[in-house]
Structure 1
Amino acid sequence: MSEADPFTYDGGRVDPGETQNVRYTISETYMGDPVRMPVTIVNGEQPGPTMFLSAAAHGDELNGVEVVREVAHEWDHAGLEGTLVCLPVLNVPGFIAQQRYLPIYDRDLNRSFPGHETSTSARRMAHRIFHNFVEPCDIGLDFHTSTRGRTNMLHVRADMDDPDVSRLANSFASNVIISSSGPSGTLRREASDQAVPTITVEMGEAHRFQRDLIDRALDGVRSVMAEFGLDPDESVHWPGWRTVVDGQDEKTWIRADVGGLVEMHHARGAFVPEGDPICTITNPFKTETTTVEAPFPGLLVGSLENPLVYPGNPICHLVELDERTQRALARNGGVSDGD
């Protein structure tokens, strides 16, 4: 059997059989103090692929933070074949401020990859993260939540036209995969374009830990590690049913045609038959009511949490299910999607 290789980055080295917790400098504050990103590198004694797990590219998206921390610090990696690069908080300034974007000029770190060492502050941070901890890997999982005021059921976003990305997405064992290459500058797109197949895992809402979703995501990580040989004692999971959706299909977003206060009639992850009311929108006096009906039989992948809308605001992300998938969903008792 060949020997495992060390994992190296600018300023450090982790040999086979070692685990290191690092606070890696990615920028500086206005006072010239270092902005340091937490990194845990677990290098197994046996050779195998290198996988990164990242979270909080948007600083208020916390569910993935706990997923990455538990993989790094609570799992037994004695039999690990390969290397785990665990990045629980990419956007350190946003995380500290508990806001989505970098406080520096309100830039989106997840539109700044792969970065550049002489460009904007966001792209300089992205460059140091990408060059040191993403490019050396073979596969990657990037964890996100919905933005404020909305919530997502656990699902995967991946470029299913790329066979390597498709293999990774299928192995994560989610019920729903939304297929698209992703916007330019996102970590998953830029990593995949650099031959590091990467998927985004969406789960829940911002500003909180949601235990059931975290546990489901941890099951997905175990399944990926089984598929790619990082953990030979695990097995690849099958979620019972699956649908793959074209992420470019705008009709899946249901938007308000009037402004007002919203009462949702179905929770995140619910199946809504065609013609059933998704929600009602009323004015402050409840003298005018608008009912929004499902235009097709679909699954509520994402839904509103903040019950206020302007015309044009998204109410929910409804994914159409064919009859075969509906039957499979029913056989499996619907969607188990947390709270």
Structure 2
Amino acid sequence: MADAEGAFTYNGGRVDPGETQNLRYSISETYLGDPVRVPVTIVNGEEPGPTMFLSAAAHGDELNGIEVVREVAQEWEHRNLHGTLVCLPVLNVLGFLAQQRYLPVYDRDLNRSFPGKPGSTSAKRVAHQLFQNFIEPCDFGLDFHTSTRGRSNMLHVRGDMDDQGTARLARSFGANVILDSQGPTGTLRREASEAGVPTITIEMGEAHRFQRRFIDAALDGVASVMAEYGLHPAEPVNWPGWRTVIEKGEKTWLRADAGGLVETHYEQGDLVEAGEVVCSITNPFKTDSVDVEAPFTGLLVGVLENPVVYPGNPICHLVELGEEIQRAYLRNRTGTMPERPS
């Protein structure tokens, strides 16, 4: 959100219309008293428009989103930008440097610490600085994540579809699957949305790597959002061919009922029929085998990549698809694209 002169301001600086600023914003200190600085790129277009943030690596080992945010900030052409982009490629700098999910300081989760609080824990102090300076001044935002270590997600969106602003944002990204939920307390998307900044989470791929197919698909989603809100008014809004919104009762985690090694029969993004064996768990001698069956027909949004489990460990994230969406999914797979609904 720009001031009366169209400038984006934060504590310690401002970016006027037509300017781009790359900065390293100090949010904390190390044990040696050296500053911990978050990289931020602010692109303020010459033409007025909304302010949008893009953030990644709230969990320090989730790397795909970093490349999405970097490419939008540094490689896209923004001469016709109507509005402002606030690009935060690495929120959790300390976790990123250690290549671990959480803040190394007492192993706290930055993405359970928003909107933060001055004078509180290290995580909440960091969250407060980020939220106050770069999230709350925006009109809406995209927060990029991957699955945790040892699992992988197909690209999908998470957001509160009961909120009109968030629902518009989620649909404009152009993903096939939207998981409808507020998100846990303290997550960036929930706290930003409740503060009047509609925000969605984009989940894609796995931790500790760049995966080009996910990055490219997410970049298409960013372009679609920017077209929807007029930041790049000449670009088209993306229609993914089919879309489903999954509510709470239409998804489940399939969990291991035995310890052992997992042999998966499907990949993330695959459609499985009710009663089909999604994977099998075997002991080291392959003398015992426990099959894991799909309780309903649905899509594998998330799957295990590390093939060893204890009883109770999650193996697959399955979301239910109705018959019409199943047909659209199959048409999409065969190259017969359904038309966009009016």
Normalised to the residue count of structure 2, the TM-score between the two structures is: 0.96
User: Which blocks of at least 5 consecutive residues in structure 1 are unaligned?
Assistant: none
- Report the alpha carbon displacement of residue 183 of structure 1 after superposing the two structures with TM: 0.3
What is the match of residue 320 of structure 1? 320
- Report the alpha carbon displacement of residue 250 of structure 1 after superposing the two structures with TM: 8.0
Alignment partner of 1:276 is 2:294: no
The CA deviation string for residues 254-285 of structure 1, in whole angstroms up to 9 with x for no partner, is 11111110000001111111221100100111
Alignment partner of 1:111 is 2:112: yes
- Report the alpha carbon displacement of residue 117 of structure 1 after superposing the two structures with TM: 1.0
CA separation of 1:106 and 1:171: change in aligned 2, threshold 3 A: same
**Residues of 2 paired with 1:102 and 1:249: CA distance?**
33
What is the match of residue 294 of structure 2? 294
What is the match of residue 14 of structure 1? 15
The CA deviation string for residues 73-97 of structure 1, in whole angstroms up to 9 with x for no partner, is 0000000000000000000000000
Does the CA-based 8 Å contact 1:151-1:204 persist in structure 2? yes
**Residues of 1 paired with 2:241 and 2:17: CA distance?**
37
User: Which blocks of at least 5 consecutive residues in structure 2 are unaligned?
Assistant: 336-342
Does the CA-based 8 Å contact 2:251-2:320 persist in structure 1? no
- Report the alpha carbon displacement of residue 14 of structure 1 after superposing the two structures with TM: 0.3
DSSP 3-state at the match of 2:224: helix
Alignment partner of 1:101 is 2:102: yes
Does the CA-based 8 Å contact 1:4-1:46 persist in structure 2? no
**Residues of 1 paired with 2:148 and 2:220: CA distance?**
24
Partner AA of 2:58 in structure 1? A
Alignment partner of 1:150 is 2:138: no
Does the CA-based 8 Å contact 2:56-2:66 persist in structure 1? yes
The CA deviation string for residues 235-269 of structure 1, in whole angstroms up to 9 with x for no partner, is 111101111111x3385111111111000000111
What is the match of residue 200 of structure 1? 201
What is the match of residue 229 of structure 1? 230
The CA deviation string for residues 268-309 of structure 1, in whole angstroms up to 9 with x for no partner, is 111111221100100111110111111111100000001011
The CA deviation string for residues 8-47 of structure 1, in whole angstroms up to 9 with x for no partner, is 0000000000000000000000000000000000000000
Does the CA-based 8 Å contact 2:62-2:207 persist in structure 1? yes
Does the CA-based 8 Å contact 1:112-1:126 persist in structure 2? yes
1:112-151 correspondence runs (5 A): 112-151=113-152
Alignment partner of 1:242 is 2:243: yes
- Report the alpha carbon displacement of residue 319 of structure 1 after superposing the two structures with TM: 0.6
**Residues of 2 paired with 1:207 and 1:272: CA distance?**
28
What is the match of residue 340 of structure 2? none
- Aligned-CA RMSD value: 1.3
What is the match of residue 164 of structure 2? 163
**Residues of 1 paired with 2:292 and 2:114: CA distance?**
38
> Which shows bigger deviation, 274-283 or 3-12?
3-12
**Residues of 1 paired with 2:118 and 2:23: CA distance?**
21
Normalised to the residue count of structure 1, the TM-score between the two structures is: 0.96
**Residues of 2 paired with 1:274 and 1:111: CA distance?**
35
Q: Which runs of 4+ in 1 moved over 2 A?
A: 248-251
Partner AA of 2:289 in structure 1? T
**Residues of 1 paired with 2:189 and 2:170: CA distance?**
12
Does the CA-based 8 Å contact 2:154-2:269 persist in structure 1? yes
What is the match of residue 304 of structure 2? 304
